[in-house]
């Protein structure tokens, strides 16, 4: 039985604090962040404080194999004094990407410790300092239901300093919030599906809305039927746990009728067996994370007020559980979506586009935004195109929107690669029975995007197919083994830039 009564709580994150000047009494463990250019400027003063020649220590560690590549670590114990350990952490070329990796390494080596004093390069700019804070949060991620040996807790506090008297706490706070969106999306995706179903997801969204200043509305199965959400209903028919459609609304302070309006549509399949087009066992494992798109939308919306996003945003989460049963939808069924467009089903395992179609159609007809972006772990084909853990797929009808999203992806560390939307392939999803089919033998990620494009109307639209970056094979860099929560940091970074919709339309 799913535990729907348990109240969702924000995860316990490490505190990330800025210290003007070197602390008089630091933590028992000091971390020195070392880039390709060598030790930070404050290392000399820090070494004097610790009674260690850090330049010589670095030479010795390099002679035994340490290099300042991003995330590399080396430990040196101290036998006397308050400080018991010095850790060297590589920062690579000092870019935001490499500093995010360094932050994650700091978090991992800090597990079980109360505090780390961390010395960084003097004058580090805001973007790179923020990336370091994001890495600390992301590298701290943990989710376990173990009752024996659950592992070390996250580090309690990471205190950062460059030895100067500058005050940088606001930058770190932003990094923590963006890192938290990735953590929350991972937590949603990692929660096992015997607990997580569409109703559970709706309750979690409602709780987060109450704590972060959002409006919320949830459609249950009766309301979905009354309003004509045929795609969501069809996909959820085979499960004893009915579907939900969740709407979250954020309006910035001082918004006017001229404030740009963005709608996000997330795939929220809380478990995907493939339905009657049943997946093999190997393909079913990890399908608890098939709601990563919807989870990322919820996590993003929950951060917007805290970060002061300048645009109005509605998040639509299309949630169902795709199960085989005597009531399941079938290949050759014809579905009537919200707004009336029809789809002939050819593969019940191509369910994500069916639920997203309802969300897109609702956005066009009822909300009339300036921009629509849908996000999903939609196709295995995108992995064939782009491989794993490097790029997510981006499809768009507007060049400026594509550029803005790609720029945000580079900043956030969730890179996108733009894919084509050739009209010549539309015939691959044509059928005499309905407006289109939901699956074809053509290029899978492209035909899926073309299917969705028809529901976006004339509104500038982008589709993010993030299956290629949704699952990490190991604890590596800022990722943990399992679900990555792909898209939450990208969307939050984009929506909190000064002009997210610049040039669009």
Summarised one tens digit per residue, pLDDT across range 395-442 is 999 999 999 999 999 999 999 999 999 999 999 999 999 999 999 988
- Does 120 score more than 80 pLDDT? yes
Confidence grade of residue 9 (pLDDT, cut at 50, 70, 90): low
Average pLDDT of span 189-198 = 97
Q: Which two tokens stand for residue 425?
A: 């392939």
Domain with CATH 3.40.630.10 in the chain: 179-495
> How confident is the model over 466-479, as a mean pLDDT?
96
Q: Mean pLDDT over all residues of the chain? A: 96
Task: Determine what percent of the chain is predicted with pLDDT higher than 90.
Answer: 95
Would you state the torsion angle of the CA atoms of residues 374, 379, 380, 383, taken in this order, to the nearest 10 degrees? -40
pLDDT at 8: 64
- List, in sequence order, every residue forming a beta bridge with 70; answer none if it has no partner: none
E strands, 55-174, where?
Answer: 73-77, 85-90, 115-119, 157-161
Confidence (pLDDT) at 415: 98
- Report the topology of domain 179-495: Aminopeptidase (3.40.630)
Which of these, 491, 498, 463, 499, lies nearest to 181 by C-alpha position?
491
Intervals of CATH 3.40.220.10 along the chain: 15-162
List CB contacts of 285: < 8 A, sequence separation 6 or more: none
Question: Is 279 assigned a catalytic role?
Answer: yes
Q: How high is the pLDDT of residue 3?
A: 41
DSSP assignment, residue 38? B
**β-pair partners for 250:** 313
The pLDDT value given to residue 80: 82
The pLDDT tens digits for 356-379 are 999 999 999 999 999 999 999 999
Q: What is the pTM of this model?
A: 0.96
Options 279, 346, 410, 418, the catalytic residue: 279
Residue 336 pLDDT > 50, yes or no? yes
Domain 15-162 has CATH 3.40.220.10: yes
Predicted pLDDT of residue 2? 37
How far apart are the C-alpha atoms of 400 and 289, rounded to whole Å?
30
Res. 11 pLDDT band, cuts 50 70 90:
confident
Using an 8 Å Cβ cutoff, are 408 and 297 in contact?
A: no
pLDDT at 101 exceeding the cut of 70: yes
| pLDDT given for residue 12 in this prediction | 84
Quick one: tokens of 132? 């370091």
Single out the catalytic residue among 186, 312, 353, 489: 353
pLDDT at 6: 56
Using alpha carbons only, give the angle 122, 128, 132 rounded to the nearest 5 degrees.
95
Q: Does the pLDDT at position 1 exceed 90?
A: no
Q: Which two tokens stand for residue 290?
A: 């098939």
User: What's the rounded mean pLDDT across residues 5-19?
Assistant: 79
Query: Residue 182 — φ and ψ, nearest 5°?
Result: -65, -40
């Amino acid at each position: 039985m799913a535990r729907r009564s348990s109240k969702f709580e924000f995860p316990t994150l490490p505190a990330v604090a800025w210290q003007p000047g070197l602390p008089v009494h630091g933590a028992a463990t000091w971390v020195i962040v070392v880039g390709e250019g060598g030790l930070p400027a404050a290392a000399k003063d820090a070494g004097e404080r610790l009674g260690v020649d850090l330049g010589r220590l670095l030479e010795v560690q390099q002679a035994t194999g340490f290099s300042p590549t991003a995330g590399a670590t080396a430990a040196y114990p101290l036998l006397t004094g308050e400080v018991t350990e010095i850790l060297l952490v590589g920062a690579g070329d000092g870019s935001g990407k490499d500093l995010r990796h360094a932050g994650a390494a700091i978090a991992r080596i800090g597990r079980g410790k109360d505090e780390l004093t961390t010395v960084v390069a003097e004058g580090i700019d805001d973007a790179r300092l923020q990336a370091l804070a994001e890495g600390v949060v992301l590298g701290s991620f943990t989710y376990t239901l173990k009752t024996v040996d659950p592992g070390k807790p996250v580090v309690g506090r990471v205190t950062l300093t460059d030895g100067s008297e500058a005050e940088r706490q606001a930058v770190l706070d932003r990094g923590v919030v963006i890192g938290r969106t990735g953590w929350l999306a991972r937590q949603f995706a990692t929660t096992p599906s015997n607990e997580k179903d569409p109703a559970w997801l709706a309750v979690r969204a409602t709780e987060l809305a109450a704590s972060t200043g959002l409006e919320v509305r949830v459609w249950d199965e009766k309301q979905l039927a009354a309003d004509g959400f045929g795609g969501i209903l069809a996909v959820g028919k085979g499960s004893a746990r009915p579907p939900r459609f969740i709407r979250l609304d954020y309006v910035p302070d001082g918004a006017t009728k001229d404030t740009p309006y963005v709608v996000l549509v997330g795939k929220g399949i809380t478990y995907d067996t493939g339905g009657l087009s049943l997946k093999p066992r190997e393909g079913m494992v990890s399908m608890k994370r098939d709601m990563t798109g919807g989870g990322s939308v919820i996590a993003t919306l929950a951060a917007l007020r805290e970060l002061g996003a300048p645009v109005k945003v509605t998040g639509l989460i299309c949630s169902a559980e795709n199960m085989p049963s005597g009531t399941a939808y079938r290949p050759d069924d014809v579905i009537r979506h919200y707004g009336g467009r029809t789809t002939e089903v050819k593969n019940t395992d191509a369910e994500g586009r069916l639920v997203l179609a309802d969300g897109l159609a609702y956005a066009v007809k009822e909300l009339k935004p300036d921009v629509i972006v849908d996000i999903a772990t939609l196709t295995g084909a995108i992995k064939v195109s782009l491989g794993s853990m490097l790029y997510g797929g981006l499809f768009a009808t507007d060049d400026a929107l594509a550029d803005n999203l790609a720029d945000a992806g580079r900043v956030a560390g969730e890179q996108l690669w733009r894919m084509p939307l050739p009209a010549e392939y539309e015939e691959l999803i044509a059928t005499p029975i309905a407006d289109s089919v939901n699956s074809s033998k053509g290029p899978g990620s492209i035909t899926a995007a073309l299917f969705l494009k028809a529901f976006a109307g004339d509104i500038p639209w982008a589709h993010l197919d993030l299956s290629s970056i949704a699952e990490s094979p190991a604890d590596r860099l800022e990722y943990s083994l399992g679900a990555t929560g792909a898209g939450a940091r990208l969307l939050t970074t984009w929506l909190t830039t000064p002009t997210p919709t610049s040039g669009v339309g």
